[in-house]
């Protein structure tokens, strides 16, 4: 128990994006190194863990896989809050999922209500790069969108071919850790008291969300 307290860093990674863009497949590829053809739509949210060592630190990434249908965005309050970083996934062969990036980013900021709206670490992931038939969303366009939306980073992946999946998540986790350094300086102290980041996140969420939370709970 003792070693857990001080060495491990817990990060909450939230993956969002349109339905069927491959969020679950990406996560599955990353956490269990397999690609699943048969899958069910994510209902509500699902969770996975992955322990990685980044810059000499052991990080336990809690990856929250969310439902992609637009109307599930209203559940965001429960799932997005307390996130350390967020990956927005789109399907490169489905232009409408690219056009919806705006909606997703805004929904995340609205419902997740992170402290730093402008600088919150997002990573834009263009998935299904294996379906290349010349009509995919172009890297230039995606880069352009990212530049217009606060210089976000962009990466192209394929969960099926296992292209850049590991890289994408590593980037995402690194971003989350950077944010933690900047914002949550007292983390080690607090962690040794309470033994988890979750409480911390809760504090953050409470500050921002106190009123709406109360409303919901009655």
Q: Name the minimum Å distance from CB 13 to other proteins.
A: 12
Of 51 and 118, the one with the shorter C-beta distance to other proteins is 51
Of 78 and 119, the one with the shorter C-beta distance to other proteins is 78
Of 152 and 176, the one with the shorter C-beta distance to other proteins is 176
Rounded to 5°, the CA angle 116-217-81 comes to 20
Q: List beta partners, residue 104.
A: none
CB-based contacts of 184: which residues, under 8 Å, 6+ apart? Answer: 200
Cβ atoms 115, 204 nearer than 8 A: yes
- The secondary structure of residue 60, as a DSSP letter, is E
Dihedral sign (CA 138, 162, 128, 47): negative
99: enclosing H helix or E strand:
helix 95-99
Q: Name the minimum Å distance from CB 106 to other proteins.
A: 17
Q: Rule CB under 8 A: which residues touch other proteins?
A: 1, 4, 10, 19-22, 24-25, 36-49, 60, 62, 67-69, 71-72, 74-75, 78-79, 91, 93-94, 96, 132-133, 195-196, 198-199, 202, 216-217
Of 131 and 208, the one with the shorter C-beta distance to other proteins is 131
Q: Name the minimum Å distance from CB 118 to other proteins.
A: 28
Q: Name the minimum Å distance from CB 189 to other proteins.
A: 17
The first and second tokens of residue 56, run together, are 């000499």
Q: Name the minimum Å distance from CB 116 to other proteins.
A: 23
| Matching residue, tokens 């880069």 | 143
């Amino acid at each position: 128990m003792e070693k857990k307290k001080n060495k491990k860093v817990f990060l909450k990674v939230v993956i969002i994006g349109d339905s069927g863009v491959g969020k679950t497949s990406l996560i599955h590829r990353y956490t269990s190194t397999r690609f699943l053809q048969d899958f069910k739509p994510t209902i509500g949210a699902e969770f996975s863990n992955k322990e990685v060592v980044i810059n000499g630190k052991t990080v336990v990434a809690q990856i929250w896989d969310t439902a992609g249908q637009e109307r599930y965005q209203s559940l965001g309050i429960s799932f997005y809050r307390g996130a350390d970083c967020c990956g927005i996934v789109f399907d490169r062969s489905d232009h409408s999922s690219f056009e919806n990036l705006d909606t997703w980013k805004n929904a995340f900021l609205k419902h997740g209500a992170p402290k730093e709206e402008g600088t919150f670490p997002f990573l834009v992931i263009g998935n299904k790069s294996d379906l290349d038939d010349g009509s995919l969303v172009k890297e230039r366009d995606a880069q352009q969108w990212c530049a217009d939306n606060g210089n976000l980073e962009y990466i192209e992946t394929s969960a099926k071919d296992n292209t850049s999946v590991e890289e994408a998540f590593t980037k995402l986790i690194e971003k989350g850790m950077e944010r933690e350094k900047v914002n949550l300086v007292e983390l080690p102290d607090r962690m040794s008291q309470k033994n988890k980041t979750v409480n911390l996140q809760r504090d953050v969420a409470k500050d921002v969300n106190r009123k709406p939370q109360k409303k919901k709970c009655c």
